[in-house]
Each structure stands twice: as structure tokens, then as C-alpha cells.
Amino acid sequence: MDKKYYIIIIVILLIFNYIIGPNTASWDLTEDKRYSLGEVTENLVENVEEPILVEVLFEGDFPAGYKRLQESIKDILSGFKSLNSKIRYVSEDPLDVPQDQLEERQQLLAKQGLVPFPISVGDGSEFVAKTAFPYAIFSKNDAPPVIIQLLEGAPDGNNDEAVINNSISQLEYKFSNAIQKLSSSERRRIGILTSNGTKVGPSFYHMSSELSRYYALDAVNLDSTDLISPDYPLLIIQDPSESFTTDNLFAIDQYVMNGGNVLWFINTVNVNLDSIRANGEHICIARDINVDNLLFKYGMRLNSDLVLDLECSSIPQVSSVVNGKPKYENRPWVYHALGQVQGNSPITYGVDRVDLDFPSSIDTVKVDGDLKRSVILSSSAYSKNQNVPLTITTDITRANPDPALFNEGPFILGLLSEGQFPSFFRNRVSSVQQEILRKAGTTYKELSQTSKQVVVTDADFVKTNYTARNGEPLPLGANKWERKVYQGNYNLLVNTIEYMMGNGPLLKSKSKNIKVRMLNTVKAKDEKGKWQLLNLGLPLVFLLFIGMVYNFIRKKRYG
């Protein structure tokens, strides 16, 4: 071929490469679309106007599963960068510093709330615990940084693949949510009810800490205010223990009528586990806080009962006495149901089992208004309920419950209701209430704007527990007796807050299910020799065949 033709071909290839270089297209042919970003995510990333830096601290030599997580992190961030050059990222091992600086670096990480994770690294016969920091820090100018935990749950060596798989499926949502938080021009405000005996102190620690990272929290005291400002997108009512007056209910009702969203965490029964364990029994009675009729008007009936579930967590009970000292072992406690998420609501995306203490059941009732109800949390099919008053003893832990008696479930334990709610005060607004509205410059509304309400009949599932030794807070969802953290408690809380604050479309990225094609280790071990021979021998045979064909053709042509 003439030399000029080679030059022409090279020039054409260079021009073609220049044209398509900045616009390289790719196609995601995977079944679970692991390499594709959602439409909401793409729009969010494309609209970023100020530079955002992502510092990934999860760098280092880890086992194969964690390398898969590392690659997924880089894939998503590379996708962000290709959509918008204002987003850039760096990866580092935060402990890769000189030995004399290591302690100072660890203290700095601790101040940022970055807790190290131990990961077992080895060859199958010997394992060494390696410290890892699975975090990503999103920062922009002078805005407070947003810290993302990359691992969903703590690896324990037994279910690492499940942890990694779930972690990968959550990455897009977590990264998108961080960018959204940084891109917000102002911190939106959430109202926290502080009257009516609600829990807002130390037991509210984790919830308030999580919310205050992204939102401004305002106390709402119904003893000193007549109406709740509709400027709050969300009002949280956490475990009220004192009765609501008619004026209190009117303030909540008109807040809902003006489009306000309410998150109710309610214990409908007075019950105390410490009393049961100390005395061997406890008389449970209904808690009368005077909200039943209000919620009934909104299409939700709270039942004065307790739900017992064979799918439950455990508590310690005396199994024997040795040398005068009791010996304890954990026994299933059917009053602590492990709630299961239900339906396709964005609230339930990526949520595993939720550890509940003494939940009660909810029924739906038909009401006026255009309402959509969605069950978000329920007991298992192996459950039943007991109406109060009743006496609870620990005797139930000493015998194996008969499954035939637990056949009434599932029961609704958490309910999302959204749409237009009818006013509880229709046709009975007093002159005093009319005057309150007039002074506030508004009028009574008997049908709400589009609004959302969530009711969960266990307020303690978001409660912060503390260690007995030094009083440090345990993670949300920590079961101190099982020494296990139920990540579903945290995820359900966060999802609910985000959905109520209008971030439902972004939550859909949590529904991505990354399937892991697990290697059949038994078959791989049995057929190891065959596959080694096939992988090493077949290419050699193929090359030999090509060589023989080439020689045959060459001899035939040139004789």
C-alpha cells in the first residue's frame, strides 16, 4: 500500500478521536443498571453551579468485596464528573502518614465523628484486622461539609457480602443527597413539639443530631402558642405522654389544613420493660393523650393493644444459678417485634428490619377527602395482638411459644397517609378560635392542602440508648443485649424525614438493587484443575492451531 494511504488513515483516526473524545458514549447492559444514574440524580448534578470537592477516605488494599465497593464509588463519582466538571474527587488512605503524625491524624478524624471500621484482611488461613475509614466528605466553599458513611452496617466477617451489596446500592442516593444538601441556598426549618410531655432531651440525641446537620430545628410549645407556623414543612411529635387540649388539637389541625406535614411517633400503651424485669410483671394500661379522635378523623385508628410477634429481638433472662449467682442468656421477647417494611413507598427503600419495643396496631378508616394510605411498617404473619389492660410477665420467655397461636398477622405498625385531610373542627369552630385566626391574619380551613402524615406506634425505635459504663450514646437501633445494631431504625427515620421534606424523587435512587453473582466455592474447589487447564491450555492450543494454519497456507502459496 502506498505510503500516503497510511498517512490519510492516521489523520482520519486522529480527527475521529478528537470529535468523539469529549462525548464518549457508553451503554449500560447490566440487568441491575449498576452503571446508570437516575434522571433525578443527573439533573441534580448537571445543575451544580459552584465547585464541589469529594474526599474519599476509603483507599487501601482490601479484600475483593471491598475493592468492588471502591470501584463502585469511583464509577459513580466519575459519572458525576463527566456530567459536570465542577465536581471533582480525590481518594486517599487517611492513615497513610508518617508514624509521628499518626496519633494526631486519628484524633482529628475522631473530632469529625469518623469512627474506624475493622476489616479482616487475609489469605484464608491467617487474618489481620485492618483499620478502614469508609467515609466520603463533600465540601463546597465555606458551607459545612457533608460526611457520608459508605458502609451500610458494620462488617462482621459473616455477612460482609450482604453489607457490601447493600452499601453499593445506596451510593447514588447518598452522594446525590449530599450534593443536594450543599446546593441548598438556606437551611429549611423543622418544628419539634416540646410540650405535652414529648421526649426532646437526651433520648432525642440521635434524631436531633441527624436533623441539625441539614435543617434548623425550632421548638414548638403549644402551651405558649395558639397556632403553628405553616412555614415549617414538617412538625415532629415524639412520644407525647400528656393529654392534648382542644386548643392544642386546633393548632395542629389548622397547621395540617395549611399543608403542614406531621410525623407522629406515639406509644399508645404505658409499659415499662425495666419494671417487668425487676418485678417479674407489669400491668399495662392505655395511654390517654386525647389524639385518637383527631387521627381517626384523618383516617387512622390507633388501637389500645400490644402486638406480639415470633419475629422478634431478645432480652436477657436468668437461665440458671451457679454458686448463688444468676446466669443469663438471651431469650426471644415477642413484645419486641422486628418490624418489616412494606409497599413501594420511597420511605421503605433500602430499609431492613426495624427493632421495635411494644408496638401497637393501626387500622385505616374511610374518611372524606382524597387520601392515599400506604403501609410502611408491619409485623410478620406470625403475630397476634393483646388488648389492654393486661399483665405482662417474663414467663413467656421460658417456653417456646406455640406458632399456631401466632396466626393473626400481619398488623399495621407504621402508616403513611397523604392527600387532602378533612378538618377535625368542621362545623364546630368556637368564637375564641375564630378570634385567634383573625388575629393571625388567616381564616379557618375545613379541607387541607396536599399534606402528608406518618404514624408509627413505637416512639422508642428512634430513642437513643446509652452505655451503662461511661454514658456514651449507642448508635440508633443498637440492641445492647444482642450487641447488634439494627440499621433499619436509622434508615427508616432518615427516609421518612427526607420524604416528608419533599425529597421523595431523590429517594427513588435507593431502590436500585445491585445483584451479586456469588461464586459457587464448593464447585470451584472441586473443578479447580479443570478450569486451570482450560484457561491456560486452550489459548495455547488455539495459538498452535493458528500457527499450523499459517504455515500450511504459506507453504502452499510459496511452495
For the cut 60, the answer to whether the pLDDT of residue 229 exceeds it is: yes
* Per-residue model confidence as pLDDT tens digits over 232-261: 999 999 999 999 999 999 999 999 999 999
CA distance 301 to 455: 10
* Per-residue model confidence as pLDDT tens digits over 487-526: 889 889 989 998 999 887 777 776 665 544 445 555 666 6
* Torsion sign, CA atoms 342, 347, 352, 358: negative
- Residue with the larger pLDDT of the pair 438 and 65: 438
Residue 447 β-bridge partners: 422
| Lowest mean per-residue pLDDT among 79-83, 137-141, 323-327, 363-367 | 323-327
Considering 23-27, 149-153, 310-314, 365-369, the range whose residues carry the highest mean pLDDT is 310-314
The Cα-based distances of 403 to 165, 306, 497 in angstroms read 33, 17, 36
Instruction: Identify the helix (H) or strand (E) that includes residue 60.
Output: none
Specify the pLDDT at position 445: 94
Q: Give me the half-sphere count of Cα atoms (radius 13 Å) on the Cβ side of residue 106.
A: 10
- What is the share, in percent, of the chain residues with pLDDT greater than 90? 39
Q: Which of these, 376, 355, 297, lies nearest to 476 by C-alpha position?
A: 355
Average pLDDT over residues 72-88: 91
Beta-carbon contacts of 214 under 8 Å, excluding residues fewer than 6 positions away, are 146, 181, 184, 187
Burial 427-445 (b: 16+ CB within 10 A, else e): eebeeebeebbeeeeeebb
- Residue with the larger pLDDT of the pair 5 and 54: 54
* Per-residue model confidence as pLDDT tens digits over 450-472: 999 999 999 988 888 888 777 77
* Per-residue model confidence as pLDDT tens digits over 16-38: 666 655 444 455 545 555 557 77
* Per-residue model confidence as pLDDT tens digits over 332-389: 889 999 999 988 888 988 788 999 999 999 999 988 878 999 999 999 999 999 999 9
DSSP assignment, residue 23? G
Neighbours of 136 (CB within 10 A): 23
Q: Which three cell numbers stand for residue 323?
A: 454458686
Nearest-10 crossing angle of helices 64-83, 160-183:
20
Specify the pLDDT at position 507: 78
* Per-residue model confidence as pLDDT tens digits over 87-138: 999 998 888 888 888 888 888 888 887 878 877 665 555 556 678 888 999 9
Task: Please state whether the peptide bond connecting residue 233 to the residue before it is cis, i.e. omega within 30 degrees of 0.
Answer: no
For the cut 70, the answer to whether the pLDDT of residue 231 exceeds it is: yes
Do strands 325-341 and 312-322 pair parallel, antiparallel, or not at all (unpaired)? antiparallel
Torsion angles phi and psi, residue 281, rounded to 5: -160, 165
Burial of residue 452 (number of CB atoms within 10 Å: 0-12, 13-18, 19+): buried
Average pLDDT over residues 131-150: 86
Instruction: Identify the helix (H) or strand (E) that includes residue 146.
Output: strand 146-149
Specify the pLDDT at position 168: 86
Specify the pLDDT at position 24: 47
Average pLDDT over residues 139-168: 76
Q: What is the mean pLDDT of the chain?
A: 84
Q: What is the pTM of this model?
A: 0.77
Specify the pLDDT at position 468: 75
* Torsion sign, CA atoms 62, 68, 71, 73: negative
